[in-house]
Structure 1
Amino acid sequence: MPTIMSHAAVPLAGALILGRSRLSLPVIATGLLVAMLPDADVIGFRLGIAYGDGWGHRGATHSLLFAAAAALFATALLRPQRYGVAAAFLFVSMASHGALDMLTNGGLGVAVFWPFDEIRHFAPFTPIAVSPIGVSDFISGRGIKVLYSEAIWIWIPLTLVAAAFGIRKRTSKWFRQNGTAR
């Protein structure tokens, strides 16, 4: 799994791309929260739930169905003006957690299609170094390698995408204001 901080990268980029005119602060904050929420399944280790079980780590809480249900539930609670945009943003925010985990080079994979299929999946390309679970293991040479990997494969690409959308938005606005057709 990527670090908990890097799971916030997708909703941060999405919020920058969509802007405050489409997303309220509560929706953005909820997007950040739900992007990290699937890793709450590590509580299962203390409850005797095995890693590979359906409700184990990277199981049900990392699935597309769980992301859809959580997004709809959160959207119903938040009651935003733009219901569809908020629901889609929250779904992508939470579903991105499993997608990023599928890009890591360790663990058991992600039960992305749970409960219809409990097989754990990885992406064909797994460039992101898997993060250690626990702070003591993270503060090490391995932790630095994980952060470097996440910068290269998550933060830099998403920053470039958000910047490209921002530039496109500003140039379109400039052309509209100056009467030049675009």
Structure 2
Amino acid sequence: MPTIFSHALIPLAAGAITGRRRVSARLAMAGALLAMLPDLDVIGFRFGIGYASEWGHRGFTHSFVFAALMAGIVALFWRPARSFPAWLFLLACIASHPLLDMLTDGGQGVMLLWPFDTTRYFLPWHPIRVSPIGARFFSERGLETVWSELTLIWLPAAMIAGMSFMLRVRRLP
């Protein structure tokens, strides 16, 4: 998995790219928090749930169905998420998590199509170093992960968001 920070970056960058008129800062922040949500499944390790289980890491919480349900629950209880565009934005934020995970070079893949299919998928290209879980993050391997994310996620996201901002500023009267 990419680090939790990179999962949160995608919704924040998307909010910056679209502008506050379309995605409020609060909605972008909610999207960032929800993009990190699928990795709560690592708590299953403490309860003996194996990685390969559909209830384990990168299992059901990394599916499109989970993303749609979580976005729906948020919309049910939070008024700013009740429009279709807001719900769709939150859905995309949560779904960005497993899609990023599919670009990593480790793990067993993600159950993107659960409950209809329990196959774990990867994309054919794996440029992002998988993040070590727990204290191992503060190791040479963790630094390699951070470097791959800075070059492959953070820098492109910052450049696109910056260009988008500059284009919006130029359009202002």
Bigger CA radius of gyration: 1
Match of 2:141 in 1: 142
Q: C-alpha deviations, 1:38-89, integer Å up to 9, x for none?
A: 0000111111211111111001001011101111211221111771221111
The answer to whether the Cα contact below 8 Å between 1:13 and 1:158 also exists between their aligned partners in 2 is: yes
Contact 2:15–2:24 at 8 Å: present in 1 too? no
Matched AA of 2:29: A
Determine the structure 2 residue equivalent to 1:90. 90
The reply to whether residue 126 of structure 1 matches residue 129 of structure 2 is: no
Farther off after superposition, 49-58 or 24-33 = 24-33
CA distance in 2, matches of 1:170, 1:40: 38
RMSD of the alignment, in Å? 1.4
Asked if 1 retains the 8 angstrom alpha-carbon contact of 2:101 and 2:109, the reply is: yes
In the alignment, the residues of structure 2 paired with residue 54 and residue 140 of structure 1 have an alpha-carbon distance, to the nearest angstrom, of: 29
Aligned AA (1:60): F
Could you tell me which residue of structure 1 aligns to residue 150 of structure 2?
151
How many residues align structurally? 173
Give secondary structure in 2 for the equivalent of 1:80: helix
1:78 correspondence with 2:78: yes
Structure 2 counterpart of 1:169: 168
Unmatched tracts of structure 2, length 5 or more: none
Q: Does the residue aligned with 1:130 lie in a helix, a strand or coil?
A: coil
TM-score scaled to structure 2, two decimals? 0.94
**Rounded Cα–Cα distance in structure 1 between residues aligned with 2:22 and 2:76:** 17
Structure 1 residues not aligned, in runs of 5+ = 178-182
User: What corresponds to 1:59 in structure 2?
Assistant: 59
Q: 109-118 or 82-91: which moved more? A: 82-91
Paired with 1:105 and 1:95, the residues of 2 have a C-alpha distance of: 19
Using the TM superposition, name which of 68-77 and 146-155 deviates more: 68-77
Whether 2:24 is the aligned partner of 1:24: answer yes
Equivalent pair of 1:71/1:91 in contact (CA under 8 Å): yes
User: Residue in 2 aligned with 1:105?
Assistant: 105
- Aligned pairs for 1:14-53 (under 5 A) are 14-53=14-53
> 1: distance between equivalents of 2:160 and 2:129?
22
Conserved? CA contact 2:74–2:81, under 8 Å: no
Cα contact 1:26–1:78 (8 A) shared by 2: no
TM-score, normalised to structure 1, is 0.89
Residues 81-124 of structure 1 show CA distances to partners (whole Å, capped at 9, x for unaligned) of 77122111111110010011000000000111111111000011
